A and B are shown apart, each in its own frame.
Chain A
Amino acid sequence: MHVLFEPGFFANAPVRTALVIGAVTAVVSAVVGVFVVVRSQSFAGHALTDVATAGGSAAYFFGLSPLLGFIGGGVLGAGAMDVIGVERERRRDLATGIVLATALGLAALFLYLDTTNGATTGATQQLLFGSIFTVEPSTVPLVLGLSAFALVIVIAVNRPLLLSSLSAELTRARGINLRAVSVAFMVAMAVSVGLSSIAVGSILSTALLIGPAAASVRLTRSLRASLIVAGALGVVTTWLGILFAYDSFYWVPSSQGLPVSFFIVSLIFIAYLISGVPLVRRAISRPSRATSRVDPGSVDSLEGGA
Chain B
Amino acid sequence: MFSGFMVNAWEVGTMVAVVGGVVGFFVVLRGSAFPAHAIPNGAFAGAAGANLIAVNPLIGLGVFSFAAALGIGALSRRGRSDAVTALALVMMLALGAAFLSLSTQYEPQIFSLLFGEILGVSSSEILPVAVLGVVCIVAVALLYRPLLLTSIAPDVAAARGLPPQRLEIAFLIVIACATTMTVPVVGALLIFTLMLGPSAAAQCFTDRAGRAMAASVAIALATIWLALACAYETNWPVGFYVSVFSAAWYGVGRGYAAWRTRLRARATRGEVRNVTVSS
Contacts and interface: CB of A to CB of B under 8 A. Distances in A.
Interface of A: 37, 40-43, 45-47, 84, 89-90, 93-94, 96-98, 100-102, 104-109, 111-112, 115, 122, 124-125, 128-129, 203-204, 206-207, 209-211, 213-214, 218, 252, 254, 256-259, 261-262, 264-266, 268-269, 272, 276, 304-306
B79 A105 contact: no
Q: Which of A97, A129, A265 has the most CB of B within 10 A?
A: A97
Contacts of B82: 40-43
A102 B247 contact: yes
Contact of B83 (A112, A122, A214, A252): A214
B80 A305 contact: yes
Contacts of A257: 101
Contacts of B197: 98, 101
B32 to A, nearest CB: 8
Interface in B237-268: 237, 239-244, 246-247, 250, 254
B31 interface: yes
Nearest to A46: B86
Contacts of B90: 203-204, 206-207, 210-211, 265, 268-269
B134 interface: no
Given A109-B237, A207-B94, A276 B85 contact: no
Nearest to B244: A105
A269 B254 CA distance: 38
Q: Which of B80, B86, B90, B111 has the most CB of A within 10 A?
A: B90
Contact of A42 (B34, B100, B108): B34
Interface of B: 28, 31-34, 36-37, 75-76, 78-87, 89-91, 93-95, 97-98, 100-102, 107-108, 110-111, 114-115, 189, 192-193, 196-197, 200, 236-237, 239-244, 246-247, 250, 254
B31 A93 contact: yes
A188 to B, nearest CB: 18
A111 B111 CA distance: 9
B80 A37 contact: yes
